[in-house]
Amino acid sequence: MVARVRLRSILIAVSVVLCVSGTPVAVAGPDPRPAPQHDPFYTPPAEWSSTAPGAILNSRRVEVASLGPQAQDADAWQLLYRTTDTAGKPVTTVTTVLRPRTGPVNGLISYQVAQDASAPQCAPSFALRQGAPDKYDGSLDLIQIEQMLSAGHSVSVPDWEGPLGAAFSPGQPGYAVLDGVRAAEAFTPLGLSGIDTPVVVAGYSGGSFATGWAAQVQPAYAPEIRLVGGALGGWTVPIAPYLESLDSGPFSGFLPSLLPGMMRADPHLAEVFNRYLTPTGQALMTAGDSKCLTPNISQHAFLRMDDFLTVPFSEVFAQVQASFGDVDFATAVPAAPLFLYNAVHDEILDIALADQAVTRWCAAGAQITYTRDLLSEHVVLAITATSAVLRWIQDRMAGQAAPSGCSTSTVSSMSLGGA
């Protein structure tokens, strides 16, 4: 009963967001939009794999949805660029880059959306464009993006799951984020200062996972990027126990939404699941692979994976722990300061995991400001924390040093200015 009440509360919160924000409207007039798997823009040119990480392979001007009745005061493009997968092999992905149409550009924010789905039409490069089919709600992401643009920042919104839709593969999300930054810095119309550009990586919920990986791998993978901070909300590690905890609960629809892309990207994960999935389980994965998160959540609440496997779900997970590449806190220490924030009563995430992760990262030498919000739940915090997060980002962009060491505070609500 408690789980059902919490599910109802989160759906109410989403409805409020949609009612307040209204239907996204165009920056300019709509244009035809094939899904990524049918769009030649996503196909790289010959010899692309020999280019450097972050190399721009294709570009086009696009129109991105806006929340208000007026056209967004921003220009937008998409960049196809070369990046790296978990195995260290070259792959391509796309970032949507935006800049304020008027005034100076203060820096670059790489904002990672919570795609949380394997299907290609759920990637932000498709879902955030004006006129995209109603398979994904981008309202929460548009709130963040519009606030960042209004503050004078350029924004990069990468398809960080990559071409296979692999959400929780280790390393690769971070590489995609950082190579998207490299591409944005090299794209002249954004008006950035190349490698002198101050950069912040930010993301909420599923997007925080890619943001965390970007902060962790940046010192070794992209040391030339001037990363001045990372803001992660609705965040947790390790991933394996988090995913396993979703089973049989109100948000069990995450599993058929996320697992198909991860299976494509990881042969071992695919081999283990395919060994134990029943025919009905295979059909579940196929159906989940065709939808974005919202329909998967609504259709598969309280789904029991044991009903779709020939062995217990816990036994399957025990065999695939390595596929999630959970953080080694002793070695993967971000060099940039981090702002972490979570809802104490988050109905999707266990805040105890985040608390433990912060403790371990701080012990390893990370610089973290961690805020725990008492009144918000998962979706609510994505909205109420926006002003505090943007203030923290603004200070880093302006060259103001983040508080040294680590600090943890518990506030009534981040909407009241707590950070």
Is 137 known to be catalytic?
no
User: In the structure encoding, which two tokens stand for residue 198, read together?
Assistant: 């101050």
Helix ranges (H only) for 152-234 are 172-186, 206-221
Catalytic residue among 85, 247, 323, 378: 378
- What are the beta bridge partners of residue 230? 201, 338
Query: In whole angstroms, what is the distance from residue 279 CA to residue 260 CA?
Result: 15
Which distant-in-sequence residues (6+ apart) come within 8 Å of 190 by Cβ? Answer: 97, 99, 105, 108, 154, 184
Q: Out of 205, 252, 257, 415, which one is annotated catalytic? A: 205
The secondary element (H helix, E strand) that includes residue 100 is strand 90-100
Identify whether the C-beta of residue 351 lies closer than 8 Å to the C-beta of residue 377.
no
Q: What six digits make up the tokens of 65?
A: 């949805």
Is 378 among the residues known to form the active site?
A: yes
Q: Which helix (H) or strand (E) holds 94?
A: strand 90-100
Interhelix angle for 206-221 vs 172-186, to 10°?
A: 70
The catalytically annotated residue of 141, 247, 346, 373 is: 346
* Distance between CA atoms of residues 139 and 126, nearest Å: 14
74-84 and 56-61 strand pairing: antiparallel
Sheet holding 108-112, edge to edge: 56-61, 74-84, 90-100, 154-158, 108-112, 199-204, 227-233, 338-343, 368-373, 406-411
Distances (CA, A) of 167 to 209, 231, 419: 8, 19, 28
- State how beta strands 227-233 and 338-343 pair: parallel
> Is 345 a known active-site residue?
no
Cα–Cα nearest to 204, from 257, 140, 259: 140
Hey, which residues are catalytic here?
205, 346, 378
